[in-house]
Structure 1
Amino acid sequence: MMQGWIAGLMLFMQMNEMADQTTKDESSQIQANVQREAYRLDYVDVPLINNERLDRLVTEMEKKAYRKPVNATISDAGGIVKEIPGAQLNRRAFVEQFYRQFYSEGPLKFDVPVQPIYPKVDSELLASIRVHPIGYYVTYFNSNNKHRFTNIKLATQAINNYVVLPNETFSFNRVVGVRTRGRGYMPAKVIVRGEFSEGIGGGICQTSSTLFNAADRAGLTIVERYSHSRSVPYVPSGRDATVNWGGPDFSFKNNYNQPILIRAQALPGRVYVSIYSSELINHKPRHVPGASKAIPEEITAGAEAGNSDS
């Protein structure tokens, strides 16, 4: 009895050790090559499929087959870079093919069925909404502060070329993501005329504030915005948008019937954000005061700096 139990356990372990293999041909088609014995249940005369192991195989194939789609973008030279469709496992077709192959003769080897994932933004859409400016804003900073400049550039690159569809809400924190050293963000512990610029990612609030004013000028619906506890020098009083990962966010909703395109760029000493859309848009701009061109004075904050993205 004990010997039989041990033999069964050893057989089960061997089945789990049988490695399922996948290969790719020259066209990047994934092929599954699995061991039939590892998925067989021999409790009755007719072999049955171990569905628990099959589910694990399907999950693994989903990971291997997935390819994230890439949106069309506008290059630094101003041309449109074509979109790249993604791919995902056709789960139903895979299971059907597995069953068919399992109960046939020969090796259990077949092409993994996938289906395309189309990008949110293709070249045609991008071409139609890059022509008509509906809002813009420019703010200024001291480019001698290299770390702050780095953080501003990274945040600006994250929102550049982002398309917000009708009735969609843009979240600054969600789009820019977490600000860490691993993603290139630098500590920028400075006080800018009374503004505490906080730790890793210091300076990002200048990007969010520039975007807020451009979006407000474009007549977009501001959903969430918070001001700093102190005045900041790069925008007029009350025109800032503080953000912090896991804390305050800036978000707006595209209330128009056309998609809008965010174009953003950080150059030494200044941040530009422009918002474009189709010529068919019937937007209602708002008056927003411009930012001062005076470069803010900065002093090292040392241990007094806090922990936000000002």
Structure 2
Amino acid sequence: MVLTDSISANNLIISDIDVKEKIIRDDFTYRYIDSIFMNTDKLYALMDRLEEQVYVPPINASLDDSWTIVPEKHGYTLDREGFIRFFYQFFYSDVSFEMKVPKRKIYPKVDSELLSDIRSKEIGNYITYYRKSNKERSHNIYLAAEAINNTVVFPGEEFSFNKVVGKRTVEKGYKRAPVIVRGELSEDIGGGICQVSSTLFNAVNLEGIRIVERYSHSRKVPYVPPGKDATVSWWGPDFIFKNEYSHPILIRAKAIDGKMVIRIFSSEEVKIN
């Protein structure tokens, strides 16, 4: 943040790796009131625009297929307080400024130390089976399993299958495969992922987990016993549970060779709150 004579008076140049903004002081005044008053709506719109350009999401630590910890990475967001302080200094001065976008670090919720602790004790698991010869359905099961794999659910926190997996679309790689709709067998994008949600339901059907929302299919499914399924749909049913343990839980999910495997882990000191 420096004063500069190289740019026209009353200008502010904001720069970063992917940012280049030229701000004119008069554009942020109330033209029909008094030039000493700042239009804060424009200021906040500017900050929103800058944040979109500089935001880098943090990445949680995770486990790879060999159970090696992949370290976390911090992210960045706009330092709004720092930016506001500097912008007011610029606005109420008679000179021009040049500045780099002020940023602050965002730390991930799950770091390597936490992950190392909560991978130590298996508290639940479940396996279901599918025909890997059905390529489309197998592919959908694989995608949904990858989406929930390495998810950490903190004490008192709810897990929503739909929120974690997201909308099942062609753009995300999901394919048309058999689904059950109102008791009838049909085809739709993402068919097969109910086997993932059903496997997860049985894996977390534990004393320290409270099932918040679960619906059964309208007809029997072949991969779990009657009444042990959990149907999901982006515009309809969800599968939601709440962690009532004293420690976070870790979901490990893998779809391979016709097996849908989900294992639930936590700390050695885990207990029910």
Interval containing the TM-score (normalised by the shorter chain): 0.7 to 0.9
Q: Which residue of 2 aligns with 1:243?
A: 232
- Rounded Cα–Cα distance in structure 2 between residues aligned with 1:119 and 1:274: 23
1:206-285 equivalences under 5 Å are 206-217=195-206, 219-282=208-271
Q: Which residue of 2 aligns with 1:24?
A: 16
More strand by share: 2
- Amino acid corresponding to residue 81 of structure 1 in structure 2: V
Residues 149 and 268 in structure 1, CA contact (< 8 A), matched pair in contact too: no
Q: Which residue of 2 aligns with 1:158?
A: 147
Q: 1:195 to 1:273 in 2, by over 3 A?
A: farther
2:50 equivalent to 1:61:
yes
- Rounded Cα–Cα distance in structure 1 between residues aligned with 2:95 and 2:256: 63
Q: Which residue of 2 aligns with 1:6?
A: none
Larger Rg: 1
Greater mean alpha carbon deviation, residues 41-50 or residues 225-234: 41-50
- Amino acid corresponding to residue 105 of structure 2 in structure 1: P
Give the RMSD, CA atoms, in angstroms: 2.6
Normalised TM-score (structure 2): 0.86
SS in 1 for 2:85: helix
Q: 1:195 to 1:81 in 2, by over 3 A?
A: farther
Identity %: 50
- Rounded Cα–Cα distance in structure 2 between residues aligned with 1:277 and 1:73: 14
Residues 79 and 102 in structure 2, CA contact (< 8 A), matched pair in contact too: yes
SS in 1 for 2:76: strand
Residues 151 and 185 in structure 1, CA contact (< 8 A), matched pair in contact too: yes
Give the length in aligned residue pairs. 261
Q: 1:47 to 1:252 in 2, by over 3 A?
A: closer
Shift of 1:53: 2.8
Q: Which residue of 2 aligns with 1:15?
A: none
Which whole-Å deviations, capped at 9, do the CAs of 1:129-184 have from their partners, x for residues lacking one? 01100000000010000000010001000000000000111111111111111111
Residues 12 and 98 in structure 2, CA contact (< 8 A), matched pair in contact too: no
Which whole-Å deviations, capped at 9, do the CAs of 1:53-79 have from their partners, x for residues lacking one? 323212212222322111111112221
Normalised TM-score (structure 1): 0.76
- Amino acid corresponding to residue 57 of structure 2 in structure 1: K
Q: 1:171 to 1:45 in 2, by over 3 A?
A: closer
Q: Which residue of 2 aligns with 1:88?
A: 77
Unaligned runs of 5+ in 2: 1-10
Residue from 194, 213, 228 that aligns with 1:205: 194
Residues 195 and 232 in structure 1, CA contact (< 8 A), matched pair in contact too: no
More helix by share: 1
Residues 125 and 204 in structure 2, CA contact (< 8 A), matched pair in contact too: yes
